[in-house]
Amino acid sequence: MSTPVRLQIVDGSTGFVGANLIHRLLANGNQVVALARQPVDAVRNQISGAAIADGDLDLTGLRVLNWSLDEPDLGLTQAEVEELFADPCDYWHLAAAITFRPGNHEELQRVNVDGTRTALEVFHKYAPTGSRFFQVSSAYSCGLVTDEVPEVWHQAAEPQEFRNYYEYTKREAELLYADTPGAVLRLGQIVGDSRTGRAATDYGLYDYIRAIHTITRRRPNELLRVIGDPAAELHLVPVDACVRWMTEIATRDLGHLDPPVIHLVDSVSVTAAKVAELISAHLPVDLRIAPQDEVATAPLNQLERVLEARMTYTGKYISRSLKFRRDNLPALGIDEPPTVPDDVLDRLVGSYARSLLTPNGAAR
């Protein structure tokens, strides 16, 4: 089923999910306006080369506008704003800063919170009745919880109640959404295309693999332990499944969702131990997830401590399991096939590992 015939406006259009979303929207026959800060040709190339690309894409339905989250009306002219919102539209807000460095709090606040506020203000000011605002958030905006996470609005919380400041700003951005037609889409860890393994991102799982590759490049075939819970579940979502869900959600009547919050996480959980096993199969390393009590009696060696330092933030996602309720996708009549069975996970890990090991490895 294709998205309704209405203009699709996408910010964050050159990000990993944004470029793949636009690619699918165009393939479905939609007219799309990509809001970007890059030159038009760079945006078009990013979308044409999206991870889900499986042939030439007709870009005649794409228009690119220069914009800015830091300016009133998103830096658009009055004529551009009036044209964009002349008829009911779908606005996809994907623009975000993703960084886990402690010194980047100001950037995270400016982009993820203040930028979301600006985008919502423009939507409420100009979008006609019948328009919808899809705010792309993170499943990890739940913070340091231990209970199953329902599809409800989270309450305000202090930064120390999250694994990192990025999660905190995604929660703060969600709190701005009240009384907006559309939905908040909470994504899991987005990985490459399930069919080919192709990706175009170095975050999440790939940051994990890259950190290990950096060590093994100098010291191959070592036993390396990473502190964590072997049974911890990684909520991986192939980008092709993610954008398929997103575009199908946009074809549905969302009026009965209360609240309009949808978890876009995997239907087949992948354990930290399984990921370590596959990394060991594709890189020259014997990688193992070591529980904290083991490390207490057998401390990490120097090489393992170097790896642990590189994984200060990534490592927090393999230290405990989270469970997410997934009620609203089936309530909307959207099928949920297994997204990351063993063969898909092997493809995702292997493709990225080859791209690190050889100049001519699989394209990321």
Whether residue 246 sits in one domain with residue 276: no
**Any idea what the Cα angle at residue 30 is, between residues 264 and 21, rounded to 5°?**
30
Neighbours of 62 (CB within 10 A): 23
Q: Where is average pLDDT lowest: 97-111, 113-127, 249-263? A: 97-111
User: Which of 103, 142, 96 is closest to 321 using CA atoms?
Assistant: 142
Range of the domain at 106: 7-192+235-264
Whole-angstrom CA distances from 277 to 122, 184, 281 are 48, 34, 6
What contacts 109, CB < 8 A, 6 or more positions away?
Answer: 169, 172
Query: Given this model, what pLDDT does residue 363 score?
Result: 42
Name the domain count of the chain. 2
Write the DSSP symbol of residue 154.
P
Whether residue 13 sits in one domain with residue 41: yes
pLDDT in tens, 230-287: 999 999 999 999 999 999 999 999 999 999 999 999 877 899 999 999 999 999 999 9
Residue 175: inside a domain, yes or no?
yes
Q: Is the pLDDT of residue 336 over 80?
A: no
Neighbours of 58 (CB within 10 A): 9
Find where tokens 């300016």 sit: 71
Helix (H, G, I), strand (E, B) or coil at 301: coil
Residue 360 — very low, low, confident or very high, per pLDDT cuts 50/70/90?
A: low
Whether residue 157 sits in one domain with residue 282: no
Over residues 57-67, the mean pLDDT reads 96
On average, the pLDDT of the chain sits at 92
Neighbours of 74 (CB within 10 A): 23
Higher local confidence (pLDDT), 32 or 312: 32
Q: Where is average pLDDT lowest: 16-25, 149-158, 315-324? A: 315-324
Q: Is the pLDDT of residue 127 over 60?
A: yes
What contacts 353, CB < 8 A, 6 or more positions away?
Answer: 209, 213, 279, 282, 283, 361
Helix (H, G, I), strand (E, B) or coil at 33: strand
Find where tokens 């007709």 sit: 58
Query: Could you tell me the two tokens for 196?
Result: 């080919």
Whether residue 350 sits in one domain with residue 313: yes
User: Which of 150, 232, 239 is closest to 187 using CA atoms?
Assistant: 239
Whether residue 229 sits in one domain with residue 184: no
Q: What are phi and psi of 66, to 5 degrees?
A: -75, 135
Query: Could you tell me the two tokens for 139?
Result: 């499943």
Over residues 159-182, the mean pLDDT reads 95
Share of residues in the chain with pLDDT > 90 (%): 82
Burial class (CB in 10 A: 0-12, 13-18, 19+), 358: exposed
Whether residue 218 sits in one domain with residue 86: no
Higher local confidence (pLDDT), 103 or 328: 328
Whether residue 291 sits in one domain with residue 217: yes
Query: Given this model, what pLDDT does residue 1 score?
Result: 43
Residue 311 — very low, low, confident or very high, per pLDDT cuts 50/70/90?
A: confident
Q: Is the pLDDT of residue 215 over 60?
A: yes
Whether residue 224 sits in one domain with residue 242: no
Buried/exposed 128-137: b ≥16 CB within 10 Å, e otherwise: eeebbbbbbb
- The CATH number linked to 55 is 3.40.50.720
What contacts 174, CB < 8 A, 6 or more positions away?
Answer: 135, 137, 141, 153, 154, 184
Over residues 27-51, the mean pLDDT reads 95
Whether residue 218 sits in one domain with residue 69: no
Q: Is the pLDDT of residue 2 over 60?
A: no
Neighbours of 355 (CB within 10 A): 21
Over residues 93-122, the mean pLDDT reads 92
Whether residue 33 sits in one domain with residue 13: yes
Query: Given this model, what pLDDT does residue 269 score?
Result: 82
Write the DSSP symbol of residue 234.
E
Query: Could you tell me the two tokens for 249?
Result: 């959600």
Whether residue 127 sits in one domain with residue 28: yes
